């Protein structure tokens, strides 16, 4: 019985080490483990995989004006919204600070773009009124996708570049840096949606 209790405690500690305390989402470590398995399970070509990096716009000003408790409230609310999308083909996480990530497999190219736009709008529509009044909180999203077996480092680099494109483009928008979309040549040109 002691061995079973120890195994349960070890399993719980293992899970807690892979979860973000504030949002309940997987943390970077948990996300990397899950996305690694997702990428390994993809066929060599033909399966679309997309990475979305989501960053809360002007987050430092929320902490500065309303306090860190308000910032925590905003992040937790966004985490709950993002958590709804977690399933066998979508991994989610809080990367750290005000940045979240999602990896999606098996979707169509147009669906990924629409999904990112819908997610951006849903996150902007969250009400934080009891904490920060009528201030709207928006996000910028960097998106990339590949139709061949991609390595996480390449996906992350392209999504991160796209995120910076969205920030430079005025925030509260998505930007896409294309990898290998449906067999097309890679194109590092930013596209705004």
Map residue 148 onto helix, strand or coil.
strand
- Distance between CA atoms of residues 99 and 141, nearest Å: 10
Tokens, residue 38: 């997702």
Asked whether the predicted pLDDT for residue 70 surpasses 90, the reply is yes
How many alpha carbons lie under 13 Å from residue 110 in its C-beta half-sphere?
0
Rounded to two decimals, the pTM is 0.86
Residue 148 sits at φ, ψ, to 5 deg, of -125, 165
The answer to whether residues 174 and 74 touch, using CB atoms and an 8 Å cutoff, is: no
Q: Which domain holds residue 125?
A: 2-192
d(CA 66, CA 70): 6
Strands 174-178 and 45-56: unpaired
Strand ranges for the chain from DSSP E? 45-56, 90-96, 99-105, 139-148, 174-178, 187-192
- Residues involved in catalysis: 98
190 pLDDT higher than 50: no
Round to whole Å and give the CA distance between 181 and 165: 19
> What are the angstrom distances between the C-alpha of 31 and each of 19, 20, 102?
9, 11, 9
For Cα atoms 117, 123, 128, give the angle at the middle one, nearest 5 degrees. 160
Question: Per-residue pLDDT tens for 121-173?
Answer: 999 999 998 899 889 999 999 999 988 777 899 999 999 999 999 999 999 99
What is the pLDDT, as a whole number, of residue 15?
62
Kindly give, in sequence order, each residue whose CB lies less than 8 Å from that of residue 69, ignoring residues fewer than 6 positions away. Answer: 131
Give the sign of the dihedral formed by CA 38, CA 39, CA 40, CA 42. Answer: positive
pLDDT at residue 7, rounded to an integer: 66
Looking at residue 106, which CATH number applies to its domain?
A: 3.30.70.270
Instruction: Give me the number of domains the chain comprises.
Output: 1
Whole-angstrom distance, CA of residue 161 vs CA of residue 137:
22
């Amino acid at each position: 019985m002691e061995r079973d209790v120890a195994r349960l405690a070890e399993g719980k500690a293992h899970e807690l080490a892979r979860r973000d305390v504030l949002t309940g989402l997987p943390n970077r470590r948990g996300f990397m483990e899950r996305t690694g398995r997702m990428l390994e399970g993809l066929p060599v070509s033909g399966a679309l995989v997309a990475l979305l990096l989501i960053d809360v716009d002007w987050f430092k000003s929320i902490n500065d004006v309303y306090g860190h408790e308000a910032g925590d409230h905003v992040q937790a609310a966004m985490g709950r919204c993002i958590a709804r999308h977690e399933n066998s083909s979508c991994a989610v996480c809080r990367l750290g600070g005000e940045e979240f990530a999602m990896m999606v497999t098996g979707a169509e190219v147009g669906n990924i773009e629409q999904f990112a736009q819908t997610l951006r709008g849903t996150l902007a529509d969250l009400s934080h009124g009891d904490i920060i009044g009528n201030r709207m909180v928006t996000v910028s999203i960097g998106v990339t996708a590949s139709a061949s077996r991609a390595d996480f480092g390449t996906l992350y680099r392209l999504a991160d570049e796209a995120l910076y494109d969205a920030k430079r483009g005025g925030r509260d928008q998505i930007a896409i840096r294309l990898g290998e979309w449906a067999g097309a040549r890679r194109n590092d040109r930013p596209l705004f949606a």
